[in-house]
Structure 1
Amino acid sequence: MTHKYKTSEAKTCLADQHITFVGDSRIRQLFYAFVKILNPLVKEEGNKHANIPFEDKTAALKVDFQWYPEVNSSMKQYFQSLRESLTSKPHMILAGAATWSIKMNNGSAESLAQYKVNMTQVAPVLEQLTDVSDVYWILQDPVHEQLLRESRKMITNERIDAYNQVAVGVLNGTSRNSKSKIKMFSVSKLISEETIMESLDGLHLPESSRDISAMVLMNAYCNKIIRPIDGSCCQPIPPLTIIQKLAACFFTLSIVGYASLTLIQRNKHRKNNKLCTDLESGEEKKPATATPVASCPEILLVSFCKLGLIMAYFYFCDRANLFMKENKFYTHSSFFIPLIYILVLGVFYIENTRETKFLNREQTDEWKGWMQLVILIYHISGASSFLPVYMHIRVLVAAYLFQTGYGHFSYFWLKGDFGIYRISQVIFRLNFLVIVLCIVMDRPYQFYYFVPLVTFWFMVIYGSLAIWPQIIQKKANGNYLWHCGLLLKFAFLLLCICFLLYSQGSFEKIFSLWPISKLFELHGNVYEWWFRWKLDRYAVFHGMLLAFIYLALQKHQLLSEGRGEALFSNKVSNVLLFFSVVSFLTYSIWASSCKNKTECNDMHPSVSVVQILAFVLIRNIPGYARSVYSTFFAWFGKISLELFICQYHIWLAADTKGILVLIPGNPMLNIIISTFIFVCVAHEISHITNDLAQIVIPKDNSALVKRLLCIAGFFFGLLLLSALQH
């Protein structure tokens, strides 16, 4: 992955630096493309066969071009002068030449032999310069032979390849005892093999190719300094933190422990088999015993062993330089064709639901599933650059939060269970994977923004209903004063949301308080949290309100939820369906006509509920629609949270900025293999989380309190280690 450097970034990286380009007219073109990153207003001075300086006094940087079109004694003397210079030497040297030698000597064999002799003389000087400079030898680009004018016809691709082979052979052999420090720059050559037919004269590269080569050079030099998230090339592996090392030790011990336990159990099984005699021996054979149920320590050991192997895969995919990453390039086909595929698959797996209630569990799993698949396609295709798609995906994220409000309100209203066990179970299931990834991948909690968002809103729902007076269905049954009290709670919640919205300063002060600031800060401030919270601030409230209205209507038997029955009377159902379809289409038309992302984001919190409610009504009012669901989508819906989080590191790469490449050179096969592994890992992590939740969060309150205190101590230890690390 290459980062596209802005002028300000490039100047920051190259401040107080000196860079020298040495060579012929094609090197001069590369020089200009490089300089234009620093100053887009620079103009080329035509076929100037002379040295060209460039200086930016604000950044105190110098970039110059030295005209040496042939590898000869003059070029050698120039490099010697750089080596012997008492003033500061260039920080980066880029050199290359050959086409003039081919042209001036009519491509003769003697010229190639002399080129080898000259390269042999220049190479040791260049090798000595590598002690103080980054030295690149730029391999010669191919030509488009049909476009060359008569005076250049002798510059053939066959001869260019021969000169490149000589240069590589000589320069790689300059250091006898170790590998040469001179770097071969072959990127430009590879690019021009695909683009040279666009050249105007057959010799010089088109501007777009030069710009790419210059940007690669900038990445090669600056990525290790700037460390951009979306520029994975040329970056060293980040050093392991203390916390990462401790995590590695813990998982290694878990794997060793599990292997030892398995070996011990096998040995016991073999001994038991030897004790059992055959019936022919005259002794009665003991009946086979049932498979023993695994104990809690065994389940913990197995779970952490599996998790350790999975986390090692996460680390190697997105932190070590083991696998390549590639940039995303959005096209309409890369987004919409996979969308059609999953839609067809979803339709093929339609089955009847076990229950036909409004927003029943199977339907909400289906809803989560297809939304998650659409979001995954959106991320891997880079569709965020296409504003209409971006606005529709924003609705899907709001719909997740809408479901959070609807589901948790319904549970608390019907069950009245505000115990510590319930809240601990939910928070553990939501946050377990993210906490482990924060430790293993060395990322802040807020980096996985959706989980903090869902966790925060769950706590808001819990706090709203749990504080005195606790209003639940059993208490409010037939008593309208209790209903009024609940509506007052709704009004107060809405008032708090509006207060935080219109007082960004207060919002930032509240969430910047230690220690909760550690949960909400990203890059040292809470702005990202403010932005994410603000985008979908009403979605949970709308979900809670719909749940209350639905449960009230259901209580008063104003709904028909039988199989095949419309939710309301025919007249009401038809009117609601008509307005829902119109609203759904109206929102889509508005979102598709959006021109400015900022303005549309400002409108989104208020209008996204239109699209969500329209979908809910269209999906639930007709009895036949409410009675069926797609098992394909529902299966993905059950692991939607794991899919959303895992994609960050083992499907996408470079913290979602790129795409993981397990199989280079075959994009389709790469996507198939990486997707298969990604889905399997998400499914396995879902099982691990469920197993651990049963053990870590016991139903006994006294035991649970002790474990929560241990967990609090664990996090306090992490904070101390993190502080020591920094």
Structure 2
Amino acid sequence: MSWAEGSTLKPHVIIFSAATWSIKLHNGKSEALFQYKENLTAISDTLEKLPEHSEVYWVLQDPVYEEVLSESRKMITNEQINMYNEVAVSTLNNSKKKVKFLEASRQAAMETISKSVDGLHLPESTRAVGAMVLMNSMCNKILKPIDGSCCQSTPPLSVLQKLAAALFLVSSICFLLLGCTRHYKSRPVPDLESGEEKKPPTAGQFNPKGPLLAICKMGLIMLYFYLCDRADIFMKEQKFYTHSTFFIPLIYIFVLGIFYYENSKETKLLNREQTDEWKGWMQLVILIYHMSGASSFIPVYMHVRVLVAAYLFQTGYGHFSFFWLKGDFGLYRVCQVLFRLNFLVVVLCLVMDRPYQFYYFVPLVTFWFVVIYATMAFWPQILQKQANGSGFWNLALLLKLLGLLLLIFFFAYSQELFEGIFSVWPISKLFELQGSIHEWWFRWKLDRFAVINGMLFAFIYLLLQKCQLLSEGNRDPLFSTKISNCLLFVSVVSFITYSIWASGCKNKSECNEMHPYISVVQILAFILIRNIPGYARSLYSSFFAWFGKISLELFICQYHIWLAADTKGILVLIPGNPTLNIIVSTFIFVCVAHEIFQITNDLAQVAIPKESGPLLKRLLGAGVFLVLVLILVQKE
């Protein structure tokens, strides 16, 4: 009463309970239960007067193990305890929902009370369950741990989240006002590596229903993202690694992939179908790796690190090949690539209230694309048609790549300079995670040579191709029989040697130090094994290639609608049935990723016009919007 009415200091948390002593002292008489209810009613009236910040927890009484109770406690039966708990809940529930009932230890005790020494007091491990849940309830909403969904209240919407919700709502209203009499057909996305694309719609025939429909779909999808991983509607479960949870699904998908092998349209080394296949199976392995929590098993961790390096290797290979062959350094090309890479992540940053660096792979790929563009576009611009038959220009390009390599070495061995550059506002807002640049430094340094390895490989391959030193016909080995057999043998030995070394890793940090220098061995070995035999180069898996086309969306979407608690747990849509849950959540996850891929393609055609005038205006608008977002983030 002094806490409710007096001027004394008021507690933030009140934890209380009573019943077993009342049962014992009054020998389980019904009159005691009526008095117990009257006393609780009086307390309930006082609780309503407590200040808003005071939280009240009533601990429900735990069951007893009647068979081992002493004679002086025989009247404390489970029937009596249940009656007292029911009275407590019905009485205190009326106090304006002020009281929270703690039932965790009682639920745990149902399974463990038989282990009680005296039949009344719970084992220590069971008491720890109640204490843990209680501390989660009090602490998680204050500390806001990234993986603390248990007992953590839904955070209030930020200004940016409200802004995103308003944008989706306005777009939906506009679309409904315009009417949706016919289905809007998606236009195919331009091939970012080859530069080939479909013809744009005829000028003057712009239909706003298409983009509005895409934004409406995106709004519904983002609502699903929010409900899955922010609203605490769905449960999350912990990951628990076992070899079977990782390797059995792995065997399933590779057996499935083999059944979908088809003839390739072209038989060149690393043709489009083959690179899509490569991205696809790598992405599926990474998804299983994240789902199973296999990062705790170092051999698997080291092999998956190679897969991430292989993605960056492909980034260097693909973009270098495009710039070297096409010579297209225009603003339209750059904006198309940046939009394709970043659209989903920017939307998720707004909707899920996460920093850009949280989705670390996209900032990494975006950064390296800008580096590749700068290396190739800055003076002197050297193209294959210009260097044709000229050793001087080929040497000049190699000197460019050498300069880039020296810069990478310099930044890798000067952490202070690296962090100093990326800690400058507003650049820091793109690369900070929880106020620190350290995570970006770790990610960048881990695969710092992968992209330049891809660029150098593309240069050597295209040079050999130009000099007609490769046999890329159907069923033909890539080189002469003797050289092909020799390279195949070396590749297989290198591949196995790396796997043996990775399997023997005992310490992540030590192996991570070696990874940037030797991951290229595994990558090159795979490329040669996959491409030297003509029959292998002539086939590809359409199953893996399909997933490869949406690999970026799969990687990002898994954070919130397949995994949960920002990848720390597993989303549970169907409790109590893990197999059915994973089938349903995976089906929805893949469908959503594919739909976002289509939406991104649709909006890219509208947001990035080919005409330089409208494009510059939209870039100016995007720049102003980005500055406003950064200012709002800075204030919050």
> TM-score higher than 0.5 here?
yes
Q: Does 2:171 align with 1:254?
A: yes
Match of 2:282 among 371, 381, 384: 371
2:513 corresponds to which residue? 602
Map 1:184-263 to 2 at 5 A.
184-196=101-113, 199=116, 203-262=120-179
Larger radius of gyration: 1
Relative distance call for 1:146 and 1:432 in structure 2 (3 A) is same
Secondary structure in structure 2 of the residue aligned to 1:94: strand
Distance (Å, rounded) in 1 between the aligned partners of 2:483 and 2:74: 81
Letter in 1 for 2:365: V
Q: Does 2:420 align with 1:503?
A: no
Shift of 1:570: 2.8
1:652 corresponds to which residue? 563
Instruction: Using the TM superposition, name which of 518-527 and 465-474 deviates more.
Output: 518-527
Map 1:514-533 to 2 at 5 A.
514-533=425-444
Relative distance call for 1:103 and 1:626 in structure 2 (3 A) is farther
Relative distance call for 1:330 and 1:113 in structure 2 (3 A) is farther
Q: Does 2:312 align with 1:429?
A: no
Question: Contact conserved, 2:22 with 2:32, CA < 8 A, in 1?
Answer: no
Question: Contact conserved, 2:2 with 2:8, CA < 8 A, in 1?
Answer: no
Match of 1:139 among 60, 65, 68: 60
Secondary structure in structure 1 of the residue aligned to 2:179: helix
Distance (Å, rounded) in 2 between the aligned partners of 1:86 and 1:298: 62
Shift of 1:145: 5.5
Distance (Å, rounded) in 2 between the aligned partners of 1:343 and 1:149: 62
2:29 corresponds to which residue? 111
Compute the RMSD of aligned alpha carbons. 2.7
Match of 1:168 among 64, 89, 92: 89
Instruction: Using the TM superposition, name which of 84-93 and 514-523 deviates more.
Output: 84-93
Shift of 1:122: 4.0
Instruction: Using the TM superposition, name which of 514-523 and 130-139 deviates more.
Output: 130-139
Q: Does 2:472 align with 1:554?
A: no
1:320 corresponds to which residue? 231
Relative distance call for 1:371 and 1:263 in structure 2 (3 A) is closer
Instruction: Using the TM superposition, name which of 399-408 and 337-346 deviates more.
Output: 337-346
1:460 corresponds to which residue? 371
1:701 corresponds to which residue? 612
Distance (Å, rounded) in 2 between the aligned partners of 1:646 and 1:184: 36
Cα displacement string for residues 275-327 of structure 1 (whole angstroms, at most 9, x for unaligned residues): xxxxxxxxxxxxxxxxxx97342222221121122222222222223333333
2:324 corresponds to which residue? 413
Shift of 1:164: 2.8
Distance (Å, rounded) in 2 between the aligned partners of 1:190 and 1:427: 52
Question: Contact conserved, 1:120 with 1:170, CA < 8 A, in 2?
Answer: no
2:197 corresponds to which residue? none
Shift of 1:486: 1.3
1:18 corresponds to which residue? none
Match of 1:619 among 512, 526, 530: 530
Question: Contact conserved, 2:433 with 2:439, CA < 8 A, in 1?
Answer: yes
Q: Does 2:488 align with 1:577?
A: yes
What's the TM-score once normalised by structure 1's chain length? 0.79
Letter in 1 for 2:88: A
Shift of 1:382: 2.2
Shift of 1:230: 0.8
2:200 corresponds to which residue? none
Secondary structure in structure 2 of the residue aligned to 1:656: coil
Shift of 1:709: 2.1
Distance (Å, rounded) in 1 between the aligned partners of 2:300 and 2:37: 55
Question: Contact conserved, 1:101 with 1:111, CA < 8 A, in 2?
Answer: no
1:301 corresponds to which residue? 212
Cα displacement string for residues 206-254 of structure 1 (whole angstroms, at most 9, x for unaligned residues): 4433333221111111112111111123333322233322222221121
Question: Contact conserved, 1:126 with 1:135, CA < 8 A, in 2?
Answer: no
Distance (Å, rounded) in 2 between the aligned partners of 1:265 and 1:633: 33
Cα displacement string for residues 160-204 of structure 1 (whole angstroms, at most 9, x for unaligned residues): 43443333234335x3xx44x222111112223344455556544
Distance (Å, rounded) in 1 between the aligned partners of 2:546 and 2:91: 60
Question: Contact conserved, 1:244 with 1:440, CA < 8 A, in 2?
Answer: yes
Cα displacement string for residues 483-516 of structure 1 (whole angstroms, at most 9, x for unaligned residues): 1111111111110001001111111121122332
Distance (Å, rounded) in 1 between the aligned partners of 2:560 and 2:535: 40
Cα displacement string for residues 378-424 of structure 1 (whole angstroms, at most 9, x for unaligned residues): 22222222222222221111111111011111111111211221111
Distance (Å, rounded) in 1 between the aligned partners of 2:23 and 2:525: 71
Structure 2 unaligned blocks of 5 or more:
184-203
Distance (Å, rounded) in 1 between the aligned partners of 2:495 and 2:111: 46
Match of 1:469 among 341, 365, 380: 380
Relative distance call for 1:625 and 1:88 in structure 2 (3 A) is same
Secondary structure in structure 2 of the residue aligned to 1:184: strand
Relative distance call for 1:263 and 1:481 in structure 2 (3 A) is closer
Cα displacement string for residues 346-404 of structure 1 (whole angstroms, at most 9, x for unaligned residues): 12212121111111111111111111111112222222222222222211111111110
Shift of 1:117: 2.5
Indicate the structure whose relative CO is greater, using CA pairs within 8 Å and at least 6 residues apart. Answer: 2
Shift of 1:544: 1.0
Relative distance call for 1:196 and 1:330 in structure 2 (3 A) is farther
1:673 corresponds to which residue? 584
Count of residue pairs brought into register by the alignment? 613
Letter in 2 for 1:715: L
Shift of 1:474: 0.7
1:630 corresponds to which residue? 541
Match of 1:478 among 370, 389, 404: 389
Question: Contact conserved, 1:697 with 1:704, CA < 8 A, in 2?
Answer: yes
Question: Contact conserved, 2:426 with 2:630, CA < 8 A, in 1?
Answer: no
Distance (Å, rounded) in 1 between the aligned partners of 2:599 and 2:111: 48
Question: Contact conserved, 2:44 with 2:91, CA < 8 A, in 1?
Answer: no
Match of 1:128 among 33, 46, 63: 46
2:356 corresponds to which residue? 445
Distance (Å, rounded) in 2 between the aligned partners of 1:90 and 1:240: 28
Letter in 1 for 2:254: L
Distance (Å, rounded) in 1 between the aligned partners of 2:118 and 2:481: 74
Distance (Å, rounded) in 2 between the aligned partners of 1:263 and 1:581: 57
Question: Contact conserved, 1:577 with 1:618, CA < 8 A, in 2?
Answer: yes
Percent identity at matched positions? 68
Distance (Å, rounded) in 1 between the aligned partners of 2:158 and 2:390: 58
Distance (Å, rounded) in 2 between the aligned partners of 1:648 and 1:562: 42
Shift of 1:86: 7.1
Distance (Å, rounded) in 2 between the aligned partners of 1:104 and 1:722: 60
Distance (Å, rounded) in 2 between the aligned partners of 1:201 and 1:568: 81
